[in-house]
Amino acid sequence: MNRILFISAFLLSVACSKAQELDEYALIDRTARRMPDSVSASIETIARYITNHFETNVQKVRAAYAWVTQHIRYDKDSMYAINWAASAESKITVAMRRRKGVCENFASIFTGIVKLCGIRSYVVDGYTKQQGQVNRNGHSWCAVELGLQWFFCDPTWDEKYKQANYFLVPPQAFIQTHMPFDPLWQLLPRHVSYQQFSSGKFLPGDDISFKPINDSANSFLQLNELEQMQASARRIRHAGFYNELIRTRHAYLEMQIAIIHEDKDKRDYDSAVDDLQQATKLFNEFIAYRNARFMPFRPDSDLANLLIPAEKLLTKSLERIAMIGTQVENLQWDTGGMRKKISQLQSRIAEQQAFVQQYIRTPVSEREKMFFVTQ
């Protein structure tokens, strides 16, 4: 009898705790949804309002979720217009102005607000499964870190919700309906394959109750943009191209990686040109000073060092040129022509350095004659 009473009391306490949580969420939802228009023009003002009106991170995340799902409408006219290449800022700006968008807009706005509240969040791209059928269109959702644990939110699927079914869902439950392109963002110690997700048979015995992991996500977020893309592309390639959507995502990542490398090549080339131009300017200044018979006077130690800055610039220019084309084929920049120009200037500098050294070794009374020797 005591055992029955204990179990009954336990179940009652769980029910009460759940009811209190729902009551708290209901209050947060009402407050967030009634946010004045004057403070909802941008994600910055929304985040500031949320930070000022809610204390815990869970409350802040819930408030952001409530605002997005209430004020952003799903635009069915754009449901096939997912544009991964667009920046997060543009996805946010357009949808905030129109107050409508597709999944990537929902995810970007929600994540943007959460980040501004000081909470780590990340937009995850992948595809989904509903009623046992895999949706072959891409989808975007959000990962949120709370209390050193990661959870998933899908504000698109909870648009106009009465009960939020996709708010702070643990990874082992979320994988039943959402498959990220990058296996890392399953946040599971043993990755579910694309085939297992499609069939619904995740593991032997259909057991997916294993604990989530967080270290991999934390390490990933420490990488720069290029490193993140390279790591994601590598994992996707290793997992295999199970369907065309995965193959397309991998091709997109490889394209973005190539673009970043090409941009770096352009920066290196432009910097190499700048270094060469600056070295040429210094060399011409030296020639003008020599033509003035090294007047006004400078000590010999200064004369010996006059062309060193130009030499260093040319060395730096060559180093930049050497980096071009190491990651993607160089089809734009005339690195051969640049090397030739650098080599020619280096030869001319070497000639002038030899003249300076001879000038310094020459007795002062004899130096004037050196200027009448043909250069």
Q: Is the dihedral of CA 95, 98, 103, 107 positive or negative?
A: positive
The encoded tokens of residue 70 equal 């209430």
Tokens 């993140």 belong to: 228
Amino acid letter at 24?
A: E
- Does the structure show a pLDDT above 70 at 18? no
Give Dmax (Cα) for the chain.
Answer: 119
Per-residue pLDDT tens over the stretch 31-82: 998 899 889 999 999 999 999 999 999 999 999 999 999 999 998 765 444 4
Quote the strand ranges of 50-116, DSSP E: 73-74, 100-101
Question: How many whole angstroms from its chain centre is CA 122?
Answer: 10
Chain segment 298-319, per-residue pLDDT in tens:
999 999 999 999 999 999 999 9
| Tokens standing for residue 171 | 């990874």
Alpha-carbon distance of 114 to 116, in angstroms, equals: 5
How many CB atoms neighbour CB 283 within 10 A? Answer: 20
pLDDT at residue 16, as a whole number: 42
Take residue 71 and report the two structure tokens written for it. Answer: 């004020």
pLDDT greater than 50 at residue 143 = yes
| pTM (2 d.p.) | 0.78
Q: How many Å apart are CA 176 and CA 151, to the nearest integer?
A: 14
Residue 280 burial (CB count, 10 A) = 17
CA angle 10/16/17 to nearest 5° reads 90
pLDDT computed for residue 90 by the predictor: 82
Give the side-chain half-sphere CA count within 13 A for 3.
0
- How would you classify residue 131: left for phi > 0, otherwise alpha for psi between -120 and 50, otherwise beta? left
What confidence category does residue 20 fall into, taking pLDDT thresholds of 50, 70 and 90?
A: low
| Distance from C-alpha of 42 to C-alpha of 92, rounded to nearest angstrom | 9
What was the pLDDT predicted at 204? Answer: 45
Instruction: Give the pLDDT band of residue 12 (cuts 50, 70, 90).
Output: very low
